[in-house]
Amino acid sequence: MKIVVQRVKRASVTVDGSVTGSINHGLLLLIGIHESDSKEEIDWCCRKISKLRIFEDEEGKMNHSVQDVEGGILAVSQFTLYGNTRKGTRPSFIEAAKPDVAEPLYDYMVERFKKITNLNVQEGKFGAMMDVELINDGPVTIIVEK
């Protein structure tokens, strides 16, 4: 599993002209699911991300989690995170989980965030062409891999 975590002032996802998910202050997650991933990796990532201290405290130090600041989470599936560019100039995506495996795991991740946090958890639309808009806060971008 590979997740790009971006601290945002706001973010939204639009599919075919309709907003499917939108948050204010919080985390935008670009989620790549590997062919060998399971619910165990998702559980670990959800715990890690929900407690990741990347929000500033009163002294300007990154000491607060998204839960501490009562932020939102916007989850976006992105198989292209597993684009392998070692050979040639066209990425290979063979390490990315196929949709029949990835979609249930993505859905599970969204539900886990809703279950383990009391945050506003929003999502994109799995497999769709999405317009993702964000105002990066910092910018602060972290890659979480399991």
**Positions marked active-site:** 78-80
Alpha-carbon separation of residue 136 from 6, 10, 11, 140, 144 (angstroms): 7, 8, 8, 7, 17
Contact between 35 and 11 (Cβ < 8 Å): no
DSSP calls for 35-51? TT--HHHHHHHHHHHHH
Report DSSP state, residue 1: -
